[in-house]
Amino acid sequence: MQNSQTTLDTAAIGLSLVCVAHCLVSLLPILLLQSLGAAFLEDERIHFGIAMFVLPTSIFALSLGFRKHGKYAVAITGLLGLFVLLSVLIIGKETLGEIGEKLVTVVGTIFIAYAHFQNFLLGRSESCRSLDDSG
């Protein structure tokens, strides 16, 4: 079980980095070449596609980790990041604007990546005990 939680946390951190990279890469042409718009990078299907990988991976990895270490702060941080990410998808650039959407998405993914990093470290620590074993 430890390997699957560690693998999922690593995958979720990687997905968060992909999300941040996508936001930063698509933001650069928008700032430099506003007339071109970088339409292929701005396709909403890309945002939804990344989110559909991040959500289940994050929820599953964070729940596995929480069952091991029982740290509410890690779970809450991860859920907060997921909430921010979903909120951006729902609200979109109509409300936040191009740059606002990117910046808020980056903030959400930083929360998610940080939670997974903490989850990863706590899951690997020797002081970690399973909550299932504490009956």
- CA–CA distance, 129 with 9 (Å, rounded to integer): 18
The mean per-residue pLDDT over the stretch 29-57 comes to 68
What's the pLDDT at 72?
94
Residue with tokens 């091991």: 68
Residue 40 has pLDDT above 90, yes or no: no
pLDDT tens digits, 47-60:
788 788 888 888 98
Return the higher-pLDDT residue of 89 and 77. Answer: 77
What's the pLDDT at 2?
55
The tokens for 60 are: 């599953």
Q: What is the pTM of this model?
A: 0.71
CA atoms in the 13 A half-sphere facing the CB of 79? 8
